[in-house]
Amino acid sequence: MKRSFIFLVSAFSLLLLLVQISFADPAPLMSVGTGSFSCGRWDQAWIDNPTQIALETQWVAGYVVGSESVYNRYTNKPIRIKTKDLDGIKFWIKDFCEKHPTKSIAWASGIFTLTHLYQK
C-alpha cells in the first residue's frame, strides 16, 4: 500500500511538472523529505553542513531516476535522462537554487529532469 502511494505521488508530481513548466506561476507540487526543502536551505547547507548536500543529492538522483521510470512506464515515448552523474546533478541544482532561492528542491529536481531529457 505504501509503495502504491509513493508511486502515485511521484507520478502525479511528474505530471504536474510536465504540464506546467512556467517559473512565474508554478503548479502546486507535493513532496516529502528533502524535496520539500527550499533552495535557500540547499544554498545554506553548502556553508553550514556540506555533507548534507551529499544526502540531498541522493534524494534528487532518486527523483530523477523515478521520474524517468514512471514516464517510460506510462507513455509510448520512452525517454532517458542525459546525465545521472551525481556531481553534475549537485552543481546543476546548486546553480538553479542560487537563481531561485524560494523554489523547492522538488521543483529544481523536476526542472533538471525536464531539461535533461532525450528520446530513446
- Give 68-111 pLDDT, tens digit per residue: 888 888 887 777 777 778 889 999 999 999 999 999 999 999 89
The 3-state DSSP composition of the chain as helix, strand, coil percent (nearest 5) reads 70, 5, 25
Over the chain, what is the mean pLDDT? 76
Q: Can you give the pLDDT at residue 54?
A: 87
Q: Which residue from 87, 117, 108 is spatially nearest to 42, judged by alpha carbons? A: 108
Answer whether 66's CB lies under 8 Å from 17's CB: no
Q: Can you give the pLDDT at residue 2?
A: 52
Mean pLDDT value across residues 63-68? 87
Axis crossing angle, helix 105-115 with helix 2-19, rounded to the nearest 10: 60
